[in-house]
Amino acid sequence: MNIFLRQNWYRVLAIILLLWALSDNPYGYYQLLRWAVMVIGAYSAYSAYNAGKNSWAWVFGAITVLFNPIIPFYLQKDTWQLIDVLAAIVFSIFLFREYERKN
């Protein structure tokens, strides 16, 4: 488990950041969240593609585009909270499936 978490710490970080976004935070936090989730999503898409997991690559690619801070999507706070939870669930499902596959 320790090795698995050390190899996937960035996905765990994304989950924590996404769930923390449900609380009341300053605007700068949401900017940081966009950058972090975009980078983690892009790297996850890249590594999923290289591993031959094309469906996961598309899902992480969509997360990357959605959280892109350069050309942002402007949505209501309630909508973003739902997206944050769904993205955290996606990262969690991926982690659990990878953990089960490796053990």
DSSP per-residue letters across 44-81 = HHHHHHHTT-HHHHHHHHHHHHHT-SSS-----HHHHH
* Banded pLDDT at 6 (limits 50, 70, 90): confident
Positive or negative: CA dihedral 26, 30, 32, 36: positive
- Please say if the pLDDT value at position 102 is more than 90: no
CB atoms within 10 A of CB 63: 24
User: What are the domain boundaries of the chain?
Assistant: 2-102
Q: How confident is the model at residue 23 (pLDDT cuts 50, 70, 90)?
A: very high
Q: Per residue in 55-83, pLDDT tens?
A: 999 999 999 999 999 999 899 999 999 99
Phi-psi region of 21 (alpha: psi -120 to 50; beta: other; left: phi over 0): alpha
Residue 49 CA to residue 71 CA, distance in Å, equals 24
How far is it, in rounded angstroms, from Cα 25 to Cα 29?
6
